[in-house]
């Protein structure tokens, strides 16, 4: 499950410094809470980022915080006072991440984190586990799950507050 939607009203263009400040503040913004039905699960793992923890707390479930389920860091990929849209900064950063050229985490490192989470999940004796995490990390995680024989579907862009089910056959 991806965390609840962040209430971000930032629409103006941002310089590199302003974008980095926005990224830092993003995790502190309020969430758009929804009443959703959580399936009966035996274990719940939650990213250590505030928006995932707030989601789990709102759902009033018992959970364990897992540090390496965090979202891939976003950061301005060059220094400039010229202002660009958030989409420009995010897309450029994701492209560099995918090409393993990011100054922060690289794609191969995210895949390694996802692999570590899968090992933890498979070591867990629970029949059903709910994860509350973030869009890009969940995309990487589900790609790795499919490589290991799990079946399930996720939207191209994971939707907030949407539960996606994967089962190992």
CATH code, domain carrying 129: 3.40.50
Q: What is the pLDDT of residues 26-65, one digit of tens each?
A: 989 999 999 999 999 999 999 999 999 999 999 999 999 9
Helix, strand, coil shares of the chain as percentages rounded to 5?
A: 40, 15, 45
Structural domain count of the chain: 1
Q: What is the pLDDT of residue 16?
A: 98
Other Cβ atoms within 10 Å of 93 Cβ, number: 21
pTM: 0.93
Whole-number percent of the chain with pLDDT over 90: 95
Q: What is the mean pLDDT of residues 81-98?
A: 97
pLDDT for residue 159 is more than 90 = yes
The boundaries of the domain holding residue 28 are: 5-168
The secondary structure of residue 96, as a DSSP letter, is: H
């Amino acid at each position: 499950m991806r965390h609840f939607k962040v209430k971000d009203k930032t629409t103006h263009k941002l310089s590199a410094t302003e974008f980095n400040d926005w990224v830092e503040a993003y995790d502190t913004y309020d969430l758009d809470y929804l009443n959703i039905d959580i399936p009966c699960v035996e274990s719940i793992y939650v990213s250590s980022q505030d928006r995932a923890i707030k989601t789990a707390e709102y759902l009033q479930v018992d959970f364990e915080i897992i540090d390496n389920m965090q979202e891939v860091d976003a950061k301005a990929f060059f220094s400039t006072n010229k202002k660009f849209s958030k989409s420009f900064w995010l897309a450029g950063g994701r492209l560099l991440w995918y090409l393993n050229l990011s100054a922060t985490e690289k794609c191969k490192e995210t895949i390694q984190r996802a692999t570590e989470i899968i090992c933890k999940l498979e070591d867990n004796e629970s029949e059903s586990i709910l994860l509350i995490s973030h869009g890009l990390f969940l995309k990487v995680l589900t790609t790795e799950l499919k490589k290991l024989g799990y079946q399930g579907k996720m939207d191209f862009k994971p939707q907030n507050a949407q539960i996606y089910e994967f089962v190992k056959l």
